[in-house]
C-alpha cells in the first residue's frame, strides 16, 4: 500500500540521483527474500522485500530515467 503522498516522496528523492542509487544498492533482498537493511518495527525480523524504501527508490529511478537526467553511461 502506497501512501497518499507517495508521488511527492518519489519526486523529492528523484532530485538526488546519488541518494537513489545508494538506496537501490543498499535495500536489496537477502537469501530469504527480505531486505538486508529494513526491519519490522518492534522485532528483529527483516522486512519483506521489496521494502518501502526499495519501492520508493525504484519509482524515483524511473522518474530520473524518464526525464533523461542520467549523465554518462550506466
Nearer of residues 22 and 65 to Zn ion, judged by Cβ: 22
Q: Is residue 20 close enough to count as binding Zn ion by CB under 5 A? A: no
DSSP for residue 46? E
Chain centre distance of CA 6:
12
Residue choice 10, 13, 53, 61 for contact with Zn ion (CB under 5 A): 53
User: How far is the C-alpha of 25 from the C-alpha of 14, rounded, in Å?
Assistant: 15
Stretch that binds Zn ion, among 6-14, 15-23, 27-35, 62-70 (CB under 5 A): 27-35
Locate 15 and state its grid cell.
532530485
Interaction site with Zn ion (CB under 5 A) = 27, 35, 37-38, 51, 53
Amino acid at each position: 500500500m502506497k501512501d497518499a503522498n507517495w508521488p511527492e516522496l518519489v519526486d523529492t528523492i528523484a532530485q538526488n540521483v546519488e541518494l537513489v542509487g545508494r538506496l537501490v544498492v543498499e535495500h536489496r533482498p537477502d537469501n530469504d527474500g527480505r531486505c538486508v537493511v529494513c526491519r519490522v518495527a518492534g522485532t528483529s525480523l527483516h522486512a519483506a522485500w521489496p521494502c518501502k524504501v526499495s519501492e520508493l527508490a525504484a519509482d524515483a529511478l524511473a522518474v530520473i530515467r524518464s526525464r533523461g537526467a542520467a549523465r554518462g553511461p550506466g
